[in-house]
Amino acid sequence: MTVTAPDATRSPLDDAHDQLRAAATALDIEPGLVDLLGQARREISVGVPLRRDDGSVEVFRGYRVQHNFSRGPAKGGVRFAPSVDLDEVRALAMWMTWKCALVDLPYGGAKGGVAIDPRQYSIEEIERVTRRYTSEILPVIGPDRDIPAPDIGTDERTMAWMMDTFSVSSGYTVQSVVTGKPIALGGSLGRATSTSRGVALMASAALERLGIAPAAATAAVQGFGKVGSYAAGFLADAGVHVVAVSDQYGAVYREGGLDVAALSAYAAEHGTVVGYPDADPIPAEELLLLRVTVLVPAAVEGVIHVDNVDQVQARIIVEGANGPLSSIADSRLADRDVLVVPDILANAGGVIVSYFEWVQAKQTYRWSLDTVESRLEERMLGAWNAVTAEQRSAGGTLRDAAMRIAVSRVLDAHRNRGLYP
């Protein structure tokens, strides 16, 4: 992969473009079509005014970027975080297009976000921000246009408010406009744990490929939120020794393996893993550098970069987060033969079960948990097999192979539809 500038001056969008360029070169795609795939079809930027509980007014910036519609309606999460900006949302939207294509969902890619730190506001204030943001992007979302879902800083309650706001304006209940909803509002069984289940499945597949038994493996998980906490639990269930986990406040380590169930109960009570009595505290940034078999970065973009990549000692990296490796880090790890399971494969379990939730809403027929989980596993393992087969036949890393499959599927749909007018 050709990388043009040092990490400090680069954004996730640069990394996303590097990945597209690498796939375009391998697939020999003509420059005009690379431009078409590199740019979002539609972007909206909105002011989101909030009346605070004390009566004062604050305004936040919100975005919705729809990267591609060639294979179907756009799909992707909504992020509430102070770091949200247009380029980040563009990168995340592009990754959704490739992710949906790779696991063969009939969707394009989108992402949205509001630049707000939700921890600084009351629940009532977050509800008002959510409803106002939803009403600002109302013209571009809908069950057959663009279907939002949770991401960092949002959850099933956020999705309930989005669904209600959309439904009130439509005059009837529209369950299929968002996914990741509470079960009581048509959420799917198994959605809450789906991303993590997929991450653990991919970690197991990667261990098997390297001939390492789960019981002989150790793991470290960065991020103990919606993805990392359940992923740590599923890895422990598979027999892997989860020796370290971190959250935004710090990290804990136990050489013989953490009791993940006890740690989760502690974190639920205290709001952090810090202070968990049955482990040693370590600096959060050291977690990424531990000598473990499997490292699962499950927090934000760009955490492994030019300045720390050479100290990373893991044999396998399973990208629970979107874009946790910068392009430079990615190519250095490839040179060292570290097996990286790329985000568009590793964390696709979430959007796969989002798709199941959308199908159930459209069918008005609920599937059992067994059905959801077995179909999730089938899709994840099918995608793993397709990516490893592509890697065997045409070379490169797992990310290169996954990108070639995803980009050629999107292009194939585009070519079949033709360019209007």
Q: What angle do CA 277, 283, 285 make, to 5 degrees?
A: 135
**Pick from 60, 82, 225: nearest CA to 130:** 60
Q: Which is nearer to ligand GLU, 276 or 358 (CB)?
A: 358
- Name residues contacting ligand GLU, limited to 63-82 (CB under 6 A): 75-77
362 is catalytic: no
- Among 402, 420, 413, 418, CA closest to 19: 402
* Angstrom distance (rounded) from CA 325 to CA 327: 6
- Closest residue to ligand GLU, based on beta-carbon distance: 77
Q: Which of 97, 354, 391, 397 binds ligand GLU (CB under 6 A)?
A: 354
Degrees, nearest 5: CA angle 57-83-292: 145
For ligand GLU, the closer of residues 155 and 377 by Cβ is 155
Rounded to a whole number of angstroms, the distance between the first and last alpha carbons of the chain is 35
- Give, as ranges, the residues between 198 and 237 that touch ligand GLU (CB under 6 A): none
Binding map of ligand GLU across residues 299-328, x = CB under 6 A, - = no contact: -----------------------x------
Q: Which stretch binds ligand GLU (CB under 6 A): 61-69, 344-352, 393-401, 404-412?
A: 344-352
Q: Which helix (H) or strand (E) holds 265?
A: helix 260-270
Instruction: Give the span between the Cα atoms of 92 and 234, in whole angstroms.
Output: 26
Q: Which of 75, 99, 111, 181 is catalytic?
A: 111
Residue 164-193 contact track with ligand GLU, rule CB under 6 A, x = bound: ---------------xx-------------
Say if residue 421 is preceded by a cis peptide, omega within 30 of 0: yes
Binding flags for ligand GLU, 128-167, as an x/- string (CB under 6 A): ---------------------x-x----------------
Spatial distance between the Cα atoms of 351 and 355, rounded to a whole number of angstroms: 6
Q: Is the Cβ of residue 50 or residue 141 nearer to ligand GLU in the bound state?
A: 141
Residue 351 near ligand GLU by CB under 6 A: yes
The whole-angstrom separation of Cα 312 and Cα 326 is 13
Binding site for ligand GLU (CB under 6 A): 75-77, 149, 151, 179-180, 322, 347, 350-351, 354
